[in-house]
Amino acid sequence: MVTKLEQLYEGKAKKIFKTDEQSIYWVVYKDDATAFDGKKKGTIKGKGYYNNQISAHFFKYLEDKCQVPTHYVETVSETEMLVKAVEIIPIEVIARNIAAGSLAKRIGVAEGTKLKKPVLEFCYKSDELGDPMINDYHIAALELASEEELAEIKRLAWLVNEKLSAYVANFNLTLVDFKLEFGRFRGQVILADEISPDTCRFWDSTTQEKLDKDRFRRDLGQVEEAYQEVLRRIRG
Ligand code: UDP
């Protein structure tokens, strides 16, 4: 077992600590919730627990069954996991199957409209700039990732979309859209960050009920219950 050392970073939803093992970080998932570039703040009771467990479950599935390399190492407590110490590539990768949120607004279609083909978007990870949308040319111009890395990011993002959509469908969940982050580890691009109702839109496939952070963003109530329900379903 590794030992938790000093804090490296505190984000909106997680804290990252060094460990006595150079290649391992210790992640603590928090109950804090933010939305709209941090303008809306709150806490969701139990979110740290649900997101840690849900992320671990999806990372294990992707790594073991889908040949997606991930940063996940092991779960060490209800709200904590060990991950590989990656260098985060400062690009948010968003995949979408159904128009929702900012896309529905941007292209003027009703939320819930199924896209004829899934869409991949990139945002530059920068709090000061409010994560602006960028494309392949900006990524090259800013040297955020090499051409090879970007090709690998796209391949993995499409693979995650295919595998995760099919997987959650077993639990009567629709994967509407989600955000991924990738990191560099020993010369390889691997999936990092988290996969949870904070970063994915999950709708009940029968009722279209929202089971994700939109319940917090839009004050829909039953926020904790939604996160709990996603974990309950995937655990089977
Ligand atoms: N997303 C995220 N972090 C962000 C922005 C988006 O995890 O900083 C996720 C969000 O939860 C949704 C998807 O990416 O599953 C697409 O989000 P969108 O662009 O519609 O923005 P939002 O409506 O969430 O502001």
In a domain, 189, yes or no: yes
Give the Å distance between the CA of 223 and the centre of ligand 1: 17
Q: Is the CB of 161 under 6 A from ligand 1?
A: no
Strands (DSSP E) found in the chain: 4-10, 14-19, 24-29, 32-35, 40-43, 72-77, 80-84, 87-88, 91-98, 114-124, 133-134, 173-185, 188-192, 200-204
End residue of a domain, out of 84, 117, 148: 84
108 and 54 in one domain? no
80 and 92 in one domain? no
Q: Is the pLDDT of residue 186 over 90?
A: yes
175 and 77 in one domain? no
In a domain, 106, yes or no: yes
Q: Is the CB of 178 under 6 A from ligand 1?
A: yes
Q: In which band, very low, low, confident or very high, does the pLDDT at 126 lie, cut at 50, 70 and 90?
A: very high
Atom 7 (ligand 1): residue with closest C-alpha? 199
> Given this model, what pLDDT does residue 45 score?
98
Q: Is the pLDDT of residue 39 over 90?
A: yes
- For 77-125, the pLDDT digits (tens) are 999 999 999 999 999 999 999 999 999 999 999 999 999 999 999 999 9
Retrieve residue 45's tokens: 């009771």
- If you average pLDDT over residues 202-226, what whole number do you get? 98
In a domain, 137, yes or no: yes
Considering the chain, what percentage of its residues have pLDDT values greater than 90? 99
Q: In which band, very low, low, confident or very high, does the pLDDT at 236 lie, cut at 50, 70 and 90?
A: confident
To the nearest whole number, what is the mean pLDDT of the chain? 98
Ligand 1 atom closest to the CA of 177, numbered from 1: 15
Distance, in Å, from the CA atom of 102 to the CA atom of 80, rounded to the nearest integer, reads 31
97 and 145 in one domain? yes
102 and 43 in one domain? no
198 and 152 in one domain? yes
175 and 106 in one domain? yes
Q: How many domains is the chain partitioned into structurally?
A: 2
Q: Are 176 and 96 contacting, i.e. CB atoms less than 8 angstroms apart? A: yes
- Residue 46, SS3 per DSSP: coil
Q: Is the pLDDT of residue 234 over 90?
A: yes
Q: Is the CB of 213 under 6 A from ligand 1?
A: yes
Retrieve residue 77's tokens: 């407590």
202 and 135 in one domain? yes
- State the CATH number of the domain containing residue 169: 3.30.470.20
Q: Is the pLDDT of residue 160 over 90?
A: yes
147 and 50 in one domain? no
- State the CATH number of the domain containing residue 20: 3.30.200.20
Give the Å distance between the CA of 179 and the centre of ligand 1: 6
Q: In which band, very low, low, confident or very high, does the pLDDT at 1 lie, cut at 50, 70 and 90?
A: confident
In a domain, 230, yes or no: no
- If you average pLDDT over residues 14-28, what whole number do you get? 98
End residue of a domain, out of 84, 108, 137: 84
Q: Is the pLDDT of residue 155 over 90?
A: yes
Q: Is the CB of 101 under 6 A from ligand 1?
A: yes
Domain span holding position 52: 4-84
117 and 204 in one domain? yes
Q: In which band, very low, low, confident or very high, does the pLDDT at 153 lie, cut at 50, 70 and 90?
A: very high
46 and 97 in one domain? no
End residue of a domain, out of 84, 110, 134: 84
Ligand 1 atom closest to the CA of 94, numbered from 1: 14
